[in-house]
Amino acid sequence: SPTIRDKLSSGINAEYGGVIFMTLLVLPVCYFIPGSGPHGSYENSLDAIAQMYNNPAMLVLGLGYLFSIAFYNYFGLSVTKSLTAVHRTLIDACRTILVWGIDL
């Protein structure tokens, strides 16, 4: 079973891999790719930050999305720990079917 050290290592890996990689490499590159955005770039992170600063509802929705993904991943790991990865895959497939069924 995973120890605290394993979980800490996984969390640090996600932080460095996700946050730092995206912030220092991917988003700046996307800023300089020509696109159809308001400032002529493919992705304008500075404008996104300004929009969240000027619109509290957008900030709340963004944070809500962040927490929902965090809880989704946490509960997914809990299912995998309690049962198996096959069970988690089946639950994910049922979630997709449920979303499609509600949408139709």
26-69 pLDDT tens trace: 888 888 888 887 778 888 888 888 999 999 999 999 999 989 98
Angle, helices 56-82/85-103, rounded to nearest 10 degrees: 140
Task: Supply 94's token pair.
Answer: 């049922």
1 pLDDT exceeds 60? no
- In the numeric block, the tokens 């499609």 are attached to 100
d(CA 101, CA 90): 16
